[in-house]
Amino acid sequence: MAVVVVTGATGTLGALLVPALVQAGHEVRAMTRTAGRVRSAGATEVVADVRVPASLRPALAGADVVVHLASSARDRRRTDVDGARNVMIAADGARVICLSIVGCDRTPLAYYRAKTAAEEAVRAAGGRVVRATQFHSLLRTVFAPRLLGRAVVPAGLRLQPVAEEFVSSVLVEGVADPAALPDEIGGPEQLDTAQIARRLTGRAPLTVPAPLPLVRAVRRGSLLAGPQARTGGSPLA
């Protein structure tokens, strides 16, 4: 079994991945910026910040695998781009798996541009990038009822929601066997705006006009996984 460090260990995916790796028999270090936040039995909490290179070396020392999940839409340059570079330097020979987003290189959004730059940094240093489609939890937030019990969203968006538990299980497989890692992970269904809203709220959404490059790209399918993606997990519900 491997010594595995998980950055972003207390995030949406990290909170699932850490106990799954422990269950698989790995020695797991759960990295967090704030002490006392790791609750997974069997994991060791390590306090470090991907934005602070000096904090990473002791956190990653002796690791066999680093699963890099830390990300921030607000502090995207320092956390995602610089953070990826810092992790690759501090990994010091450990195998690095970096989670990114399907279609980030073809969807015009500042956060996605940062994810694309982070991917480039990881690949340039010999790490592995795995992309996932939108998590169920994200869509529950985006499609939360905001007006008269209905979601308010642009019409015609095309997405492929994936369960966080499925992404976690694929990453656990990839930690044990690098050949098992796909380039992309997606959910079992491709859904449009109306279908997603009805699944989550039971009602049709209120659609708003949004002739933005971002919306046009998503309508064309920029966030859908490719034909070689590993797909599965539970449908959005």
Rounded to the nearest integer, the mean pLDDT of the chain is 96
67 pLDDT band (50/70/90 cuts)? very high
230 pLDDT band (50/70/90 cuts)? very high
Give CA–CA dist 12/215, Å, rounded: 25
As a CATH number, domain 3-231 is 3.40.50.720
Name the helix (H) or strand (E) containing 6: strand 3-7
- The full set of domain ranges for the chain reads 3-231
Residue range 186-202, pLDDT digits in tens: 999 999 999 999 999 99
Residue range 78-126, pLDDT digits in tens: 999 999 999 999 999 999 999 999 999 999 999 999 999 999 999 999 9
11, 69 in Cβ contact below 8 A?
yes
150, 169 in Cβ contact below 8 A?
no
pTM of the model: 0.95
CA trace torsion 230, 232, 236, 237 (10° rounding): -170
Give CA–CA dist 233/4, Å, rounded: 24
39 pLDDT band (50/70/90 cuts)? confident
Q: What are phi and psi of 218, to 5 degrees?
A: -70, -35
28, 199 in Cβ contact below 8 A?
no
Q: Is the dihedral of CA 92, 93, 94, 98 positive or negative?
A: positive
